[in-house]
Chain A
Amino acid sequence: MKLLKALKRANVTGSPEESIAVRIAVLVAVMSSVFALALEDIAGTLVTVVAMTVVPFGFFISHRHRHGEQLALKAGLAVALLVVLADFLGSLGPIAGGDIAAVQVPLAEVFLWVQVLHALHVPARRDLVFALVASGVTFAVVGVLSLSVAMAPLLVVWLAAATGALVMGHRDDVRGVGTFDVDRKGSSEPKAVGRAAGVLVVAATAMFLILPAASTSRALAFPVNLPSIETVASPGGLSNPSLGQANPQLGSTSDGSGGIETRASFGYFGFAQELNTGLRGRPDDTLMMRVRAPGPDFWRGQSFDTWDGTTWTLSSDSTRTITGGNPLVIPPSPGDAPATGDDFVATFYLERPGPNVIFSAARPVEVYFPDARLYQLRDGTLRAAVDLGAGAVYTVVSSRQPVTSDLLRLADPLVYEIPDDFAAVYLQLPETPQRVLDLATEVTKNAPTTYDKVRALEAWMASNTTYSLDIPALPAGADAVDHYLFEAKQGFCEQIGSSLVVMLRSLGIPARLAVGYVPGERNPFTGMYEVRASDAHSWAEVWFPGVGWQSFDPTAQVPLAGESGRLRAASGVISWLQARLPGFVDSGLEALMVFGGLAAVAGLTVVGFRVRDARNRRRERDGYQQHVWRLEAVGRRAGLDRSEGESVTEFGARLAGSRMRDPDIGTYAHQLTDWYFSGGVVGDESMLRQNVKEIERRHRDVRTSMTALRSSIRG
């Protein structure tokens, strides 16, 4: 019985919500979350269609029957919810290993069903608030799965609707207290909602600016996906369908003069068996992949260790097969430091077919991949056994040493004895023009450590050469590095990276050329790095004993792992807006000025309204004072001055009872006091103005008439 009573208590229907506006606002919020799910194609079609039709119907029915108990409906909904829950738990069965990614979609469907079923019975405010919170949770589920900003407009709609529902609901509650006959209404509903939404947006923006960026943890299993399984032609070999006919391996693609290719493509020639620095595709801004990572890094694809003066190749393309379950454990490669660094989890969502290389931050230790097999090359880079098409998803956990410049200065390869086999590969140089070698020595003569030598060379190139994709053709037989440093003095990443590697090797420092992508633009809302074809890049990797391979590039803004600082959620928001508002803001400073200007305009508008309000209040007050002056003037004309401390009412009564014999003066004074001290509630100022005008007219000549009367009596 006690349980029954408790159940009854818990199910007592709250006060019915009478406000249609609040109900509609909540409905809009709920529907925006349903649309967000549909937009991201997360839930099934059936449940989405059902939600889109049943939720509005449910809200309508709930409003119609908001005063009823509807016990049968409640019981039916409870049973339906249990069925949904059971179905959800049943769907979790096949999901092994706590794979959170696999849980997300069934979870989203559960929330959608909850929204649908709950919408059928939302008679009271608390039911509507629950629906509002549930829609917020639904957005959270969508937010976890969303890779783009497509849901942003719906989130704005949700925010506006939720704000409106809360503000209007609260105002209704306040209005419902006592009986307050309002003569002068306060701010209108839209104004109040708009003001609250404005404050909320400002506060949310401020909060967004200070919150740390999202990050990933290895505590969870990560999403993996392979839309189609098509094995590559040769196991462990390289396949790059994105190059198509532009693949330099397929034949001559240059103009025969050794010039630079300008073929527009989203493929990158670097993802091939060799890298000819005389060739350069012109990758466009095609979105290649999205990377969810806690910070920026180079997304390495592969590396080259052998240089012949124009082309980079791999000294060995033998591979090691890595098999196992999820995750695949990646063994170290020659030169790698022990995997004792911090976990750096990067999930790659491919948007375009690309090479079968597995991109990662250095140094990968685990890979979550839908295929049970990977190939590892001698340099530690990974290749899939299958082609990686659009929609492929994998996660790589890297072990990143918290490298700082001080640490790199201590770990100097020049003071260590480098093994011969390692040196044979990574100190390899062809016959190199002497002036290149001399330049390396000259530039680094004052640099005490390897790290300082690297930085000195980078600085020299930054000062003495320019970055350009439009460089003169490489003359036949010329050394690419020599031509870049001394003849053309302009080049792009291949020339810059190759020059750095060659000069470092000439100094006895192990180095190699890596290819892959720079981090790309960080989307501050999704927290993902959007990597485009034009982000394809090559850079130098320098070996430091105990640290492993460290990336260096004078053209990319990728900080050392130990010096990257804590990433904020809003990092890159200005540049992101700049890119999407072309012509509107061209620089961070300009953006600041624009936003500052907008803030100033908004501030001035607020000040303007305040000044107007103050003036109106002053006018109101002055209006009263003018009435008093006019009354006093009427009295003075009759020879009656208002005494000190005499109230207006008392003065009016005195005038009325004086020889003026006009009871209207007393009435007017009384009405004037009532009007002013009631804040304008009692009485009407325009009527008072008419009254005082009439009194003035009536007694305009009072003194004259009294004098005339006295004269006639005397006469």
Chain B
Amino acid sequence: MKIRPKRAVWLLLALSLAMYAASRTTGAGWLVVLVAVVVALVAVGTVSPIIGVIRTSLEAAAPSDATTGRPFPLTFAVGRSSVVVTIALFDVEVGAVGPVTGYCSAVAPYRGVWKELHATVECGAPFGLLKASRDVVIPLGRELTVAPAAAASLNSANLADAVDRDGRTSRGHSEEGTVASLAEYRPGDPLRRIHWAASARHGDLLVKQLEPPITERLIVVAELSGGPYAQEEIAGRALGIVGQGLRAGLVVELWTRSVEGMDRSIVTTSLHAGRLLAHAIAGRVTRPSDESAAGRVVTVSA
């Protein structure tokens, strides 16, 4: 705990000392009353912040997901004292005239997973004559996962090529899949599956029998290395590529290394990818052994 008295404390103590000396020479009883008041003011003003900072209860809640460099709401419930809460890491400094509940804007400087927040609580209540502060750990109701900020780094032409090879525009392809064969219409078949041209040629209604669409896989290998900033940059690029792949309609796999070991997950959303990258740690990531079978592989590393 740190204690920083203001100059007013010394001024008041000097004043009370002078009044006490005067009371001991002039016999004025009122001076003793005033000394009692001023000393009590100093006593309450210096002891209360210390008690306040010890007894202040702090609860915090954060959203489950956030993105590096982007503000997210942080909720505080402050008990008892009027305090200033500082979370240097998240660029948070709020003054709460407690007991109070409210929220502020926080910004995570890098990706990661936080189950607790390290904050400094400073209290000067009730008079502001002294500031007592201490470091506290505030457990979060649920963990905060901060994803890297996505960076567009892959040449978009490559992904476009991949889309072209997917054959969407080839003959026999529909939005629902590729036409494998035709069959006679039975009641209950959707009308939009009727192949009108073939039906006209055949004389009876024929419906299209579809195969699922063939989509190319994109494997993003995020291999983090180097210092925190370098890792952050790699993760951001990886997330950018995943996002591009998802927007292009590819099946995207994200390969990372986490504390549990290798993590290979098919990701369906950028949020999912961001969470995986938030958990990613530096270390070598095994590449796919047969790239042609696995799909298109993009390795993101230093």
Binding site for B on A (CB under 8 A): 100, 129, 133, 136-137, 139-140, 142-146, 151, 155, 159, 163, 166-167, 169-171, 173-187, 192, 195-196, 199-200, 203-208, 211-217, 219-220, 292-294, 345, 347, 523-528, 569, 647, 673, 676-682
- Add 5 more A-B contacts to A129-B8, A204-B39 (CB < 8 A): A174-B97, A184-B101, A195-B126, A215-B25, A294-B27
The residues of A that contact B96 with a CB separation of less than 8 Å are: 174, 180, 182, 186
User: Interface of chain B, helix or strand or loop or mixed?
Assistant: mixed
Closest to A177 in B: B95
- B94 CB to closest chain A CB (Å) equals 4
Does B1 reach chain A (CB closer than 8 Å)? no
A144-B26, A678-B75 given; A177·B32 CB < 8 A: no
User: Nearest Cβ in chain A — how far from B271, in angstroms?
Assistant: 14
Q: Which residue in chain A gives the minimum CB-CB distance to B64? A: A649
Given A183-B103, A199-B48, answer yes or no on A214-B24 (Cβ-Cβ < 8 Å).
yes
B contact residues around A569 at 8 Å (CB)? 29, 32-33, 36
Q: Is B228 an interface residue (CB 8 A)?
A: no
Nearest 4 A-B pairs (CB), nearest first? A527-B29, A143-B30, A177-B95, A677-B141
Which residue of B15, B32, B100 is within 8 Å of A182 (Cβ)? Answer: B100
Taking CB atoms, residues of chain B closer than 8 Å to A166 are 45, 126-129
Contact sample, A vs B, 9 pairs, CB 8 Å cutoff:
A133-B12, A170-B128, A174-B82, A178-B84, A183-B103, A186-B97, A186-B100, A525-B33, A679-B101
> Do A178 and B104 have beta carbons less than 8 Å apart?
yes
A216 vs B21: C-alpha distance when bound (angstroms): 10
Contact B102 A181 (CB under 8 A): yes
- In the complex, are the beta carbons of A524 and B29 less than 8 A apart? yes
Smallest Cβ-Cβ distance to B79: which chain A residue: A186
A182 and B8: CB pair below 8 A? no
A-contacting residues of B (Cβ < 8 Å)? 8, 11-12, 15, 19-20, 22-41, 43-45, 48, 59, 61, 73, 75-78, 82-84, 92-105, 124-129, 141-142
Known: A204-B36, A214-B31. A681 touches B95 (CB 8 A): no
CB contacts (< 8 Å) of B11 on chain A: these are 133
**With contacts defined as CB atoms under 8 Å apart, how many contacts are there between chain A and chain B in the complex?**
223
Which chain B residue lies CB-closest to A203?
A: B40
Pair A681/B38 contact, Cβ less than 8 Å: no
Contact B37 A144 (CB under 8 A): no
Known A183-B103, A679-B77: A142·B30 in contact at CB below 8 Å: yes
**Chain A hits for B24, CB < 8 A:** 214-215, 217
Q: Which of B19, B38, B92, B126 has the most CB of A within 10 A?
A: B126
In the complex, what residue of chain A is closest to B126 when comparing beta carbons? Answer: A196
Q: Give Cα A219 to B25, complex, Å.
A: 8
Q: Which residues of B contact A200 (CB under 8 A)?
A: 37, 40-41, 44
Instruction: Name the CB-closest residue of A to B78.
Output: A186
Query: In the assembly, what is the distance between CA of A385 and CA of B23, in Å?
Result: 32
> Which residue of chain A is the closest to B95 with respect to CB atoms?
A177
A196 engages B44 (CB within 8 Å): yes
A217 to B34: give the CA distance in the assembly, Å.
20
A183 and B29 in contact, given A178-B92, A214-B24, A215-B24 (Cβ under 8 angstroms)? no
Q: Which of B22, B26, B32 interacts with A208 by CB under 8 Å?
A: B32
**Inter-chain contacts of B36 with A (CB < 8 A):** 204-205, 207-208, 211, 569
A396 to chain B, nearest CB (A): 13
Residues of A within 8 A of B100 (CB): 182, 184-186
Residue of B nearest to A167 (CB): B126
- Contact (Cβ within 8 A) A140 B103: no
CA distance A678 to B77 in the complex (A): 8
B8 surroundings in chain A (CB, below 8 A): 129
Alpha-carbon distance between A185 and B77 when the two chains are bound, in angstroms: 10
Known A174-B124, A187-B99, A196-B127; contact A180-B41, beta-carbon cutoff 8 A: no
Instruction: Report chain A residues within 8 Å CB of B104.
Output: 178-181
Given A133-B11, A174-B97, A211-B36, are A345 and B128 neighbors across the interface (CB < 8 Å)?
Answer: no
Nearest-CB distance from B75 to chain A (Å)? 4
Decide if B33 touches A203 in the complex (CB within 8 Å): no
Task: Name A126's closest neighbour in chain B (CB-CB).
Answer: B8
Check B103–A174 contact: CB distance below 8 A.
no
B84: chain A residues at CB < 8 Å are: 174, 177-178
Cβ contacts under 8 Å, A206 to chain B: 40
CA distance A527 to B129 in the complex (A): 30
Min Cβ gap B43→A in Å is 6
> Could you tell me the distance between the alpha carbons of A526 and B159 in the complex, rounded to whole angstroms?
92
**Cβ contact within 8 Å between A143 and B126:** no
Select from chain B the residue with minimum beta-carbon distance to A189: B97
Point out the residues of chain A lying under 8 angstroms from B25, CB to CB: 215-217, 219-220
The interface residues of chain A lying within 8 Å CB-to-CB of B92 are 178
Once the chains bind, are B61 and A679 in contact (CB under 8 Å)? yes
Cβ–Cβ contact B102 & A184, under 8 A: yes
Chain B residues, CB < 8 A from A679:
59, 61, 75, 77, 101
Determine which of A159, A170, A178, A203 lies in contact with B43 in the assembled complex, contact meaning CB atoms within 8 Å: A203
Of the candidates B22, B35, B41, B61, the one whose C-beta lies within 8 Å of that of A211 is B35
Q: What residues of B have a CB within 8 angstroms of the CB of A178 in the complex?
A: 84, 92-95, 104
